[in-house]
């Protein structure tokens, strides 16, 4: 299904007066209002194809129904999100969960909805019935050359699908690791991973990037071969300029200072981008901003400061993507909330008086530095987001429109209550 523009316009019309009051109140105190609204309008966050179905845990899965049954329906769901928030103009595919058999028609459908294809993701953490060798003991780090070859070939196949779709990056996450001390020679595993990655790197088109994701544990619980940003960074450095480190917010041990990692990767030109989510314990994949929105703001503060220092465009050059999927929420609602949280953090970071902060740092005025950051963080920027959506033709209140229109009910009618999507 698609949402008619007139439905969004009608809803906006009803909320216009209240919005204007709220907007004028915040806007009065903002110096670079037009620049901020423009930056907000340009800022787009990719939606992962696997987040459009209800995520499961190893204990079960509770589908809310009406989930997309095909790649085309996944693209339609992203189209719905984008029509509402005008901030999600791309989709990231995971292969083989989504095989774009007919790239031409898939591209045409996406274009019709104002979408394009973000990074393509490979999958060597599950066995597929069609494959010859098992990934039980790893893929790119495997001791058996035949398994490594199969995994390398899969990644090259994913690049080829991506070329058809005009993607510009291969995003790679390996579950390779070990469960028990002694199971693996860790140096050997790392060296084999590097060699395999070199073969994949060679197949990259010149205008592509290779994004290397890290994660400390799960599914392996003793060692993970690309377990932290240092290991990913080391691989990316050895591979070359097209390889970079991808930061999934949920892939850190508790207490890790993610904003510091981000600031250094950015400084080195090695920050591929993000998988945004939130967590309390581990890789919980909760809605972005639901647990620790202050951390998200601090990450964006480093990004804004670091990108401005490097003369980078905030909207391009970095992969902005959500990697959250939930067991009990409607996935579309979850994604609308996540995009909103990311844009709130970004806007608050744009409000930080960077000059005053630098001065406070220079004078070791710790109290003032905190005041400056928290002044920005405690500003309610939601009316700015709403205004930027309105100007782009989106909804002032995306979630309200989604609910008022009973979109999920319509999707259930169209696809069935038992329709379940591919993914985790
Ligand atoms: C691994 C991960 C990685 C995968 C996705 C499905 O935990 O974050 O990005 O590709 O989940
Ligand atoms: Mn991820
Ligand atoms: Mn993850």
Residue nearest to atom 1 of ligand 1 (CA): 173
Show the CA angle centred on residue 347, arms to residues 324 and 41, nearest 5°: 85
For position 340, what pLDDT does the model report?
Answer: 98
The DSSP code for 208 is: -
> If we measure between CA atoms, which residue out of 158, 152, 154, 233 comes closest to residue 195?
152
Asked if residues 343 and 385 have their Cβ atoms less than 8 Å apart, the reply is yes
Task: Give residue 37 CA to ligand 3 midpoint distance, Å.
Answer: 32
Q: What are phi and psi of 316, to 5 degrees?
A: -130, 170
Residue nearest to atom 5 of ligand 1 (CA): 323
Ligand 2 is an ion; its neighbours by CB within 5 Å are 248, 275, 323
Task: Give residue 25 CA to ligand 1 midpoint distance, Å.
Answer: 41
For position 62, what pLDDT does the model report?
Answer: 84
Atom of ligand 1 nearest to the CA of 121: 10
Asked if residue 252 has its Cβ within 6 Å of ligand 1, the reply is: no
For position 419, what pLDDT does the model report?
Answer: 76
Asked if residues 315 and 43 have their Cβ atoms less than 8 Å apart, the reply is yes
Please give the ipTM for the structure prediction: 0.99
Give pTM, 2 decimals: 0.97
Task: Give residue 251 CA to ligand 3 midpoint distance, Å.
Answer: 6
Residue nearest to atom 6 of ligand 1 (CA): 424
Task: Give residue 49 CA to ligand 3 midpoint distance, Å.
Answer: 14
Note the helical H segments in 126-167: 145-165
Asked if residue 213 has its Cβ within 6 Å of ligand 1, the reply is: yes
pLDDT tens for the chain, 424 residues long, are 899 999 999 999 999 999 999 999 999 999 999 999 999 999 999 999 999 998 878 788 888 899 999 999 999 999 999 999 999 999 999 999 999 999 999 999 999 999 999 999 999 999 999 999 999 999 999 999 999 999 999 999 999 999 999 999 999 999 999 999 999 999 999 999 999 999 999 999 999 999 999 999 999 999 999 999 999 999 999 999 999 999 999 999 999 999 999 999 999 999 999 999 999 999 999 999 999 999 999 999 999 999 999 999 988 889 999 999 888 999 999 999 999 999 999 999 999 999 999 999 999 999 999 999 999 999 999 999 999 999 999 999 999 999 999 999 999 999 998 877 777 6
For position 350, what pLDDT does the model report?
Answer: 97
Asked if residue 283 has its Cβ within 6 Å of ligand 1, the reply is: yes
Task: Give residue 249 CA to ligand 3 midpoint distance, Å.
Answer: 8
């Amino acid at each position: 299904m698609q949402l008619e523009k007139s439905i969004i316009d009608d809803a906006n019309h009803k909320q216009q007066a209240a919005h204007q009051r709220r907007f004028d109140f915040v806007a009065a105190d903002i110096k670079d209002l037009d620049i901020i609204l423009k930056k907000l309008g340009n800022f787009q966050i990719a939606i992962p194809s696997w987040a459009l179905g209800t995520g499961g845990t190893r204990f079960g899965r509770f589908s809310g129904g009406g989930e997309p049954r095909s790649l085309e329906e996944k693209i339609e769901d992203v189209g719905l999100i984008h029509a509402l928030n005008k901030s999600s103009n791309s989709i990231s595919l995971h292969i083989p969960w989504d095989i774009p058999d007919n790239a031409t028609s898939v591209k045409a459908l996406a274009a019709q909805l104002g979408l394009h294809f973000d990074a393509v993701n490979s999958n060597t953490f599950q066995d597929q019935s069609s494959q010859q060798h098992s990934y039980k003991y790893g893929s790119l780090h495997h001791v058996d050359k035949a398994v490594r070859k199969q995994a390398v070939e899969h990644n090259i196949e994913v690049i080829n699908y991506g070329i058809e779709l005009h993607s510009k990056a291969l995003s790679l996450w390996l579950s390779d690791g070990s469960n028990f001390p002694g199971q693996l020679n860790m140096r050997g595993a790392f060296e084999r991973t590097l060699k395999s990655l070199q073969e994949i790197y060679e197949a990259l088109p010149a205008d592509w990037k290779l994004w290397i994701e890290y994660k400390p544990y799960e599914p392996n619980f003793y060692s993970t071969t690309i377990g932290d940003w240092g290991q990913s960074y080391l691989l990316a450095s050895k591979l070359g300029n097209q390889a970079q480190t991808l930061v999934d917010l949920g892939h850190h041990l508790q207490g890790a200072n993610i904003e510091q990692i981000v600031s250094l990767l950015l400084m080195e030109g090695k920050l591929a981008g993000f998988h945004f989510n939130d967590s309390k314990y581990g890789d919980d994949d909760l809605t972005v901003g639901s647990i620790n929105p202050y951390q998200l703001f601090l990450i964006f503060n480093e990004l804004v400061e670091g990108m401005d220092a490097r003369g980078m465009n905030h909207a391009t050059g970095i992969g902005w993507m959500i990697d959250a999927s939930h067991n009990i929420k409607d996935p579309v609602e979850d994604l609308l909330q996540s995009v909103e949280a990311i844009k709130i953090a970004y806007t608050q970071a744009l409000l930080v008086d960077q000059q005053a902060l630098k001065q406070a740092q220079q004078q070791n005025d710790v109290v003032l530095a905190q005041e400056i950051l928290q002044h920005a963080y405690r500003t309610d920027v939601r009316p700015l987001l709403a205004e930027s959506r309105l100007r782009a033709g989106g909804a002032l209140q995306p979630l309200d429109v989604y609910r008022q229109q009973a979109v999920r009910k319509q999707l259930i009618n169209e696809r069935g209550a038992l329709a379940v999507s591919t993914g985790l």
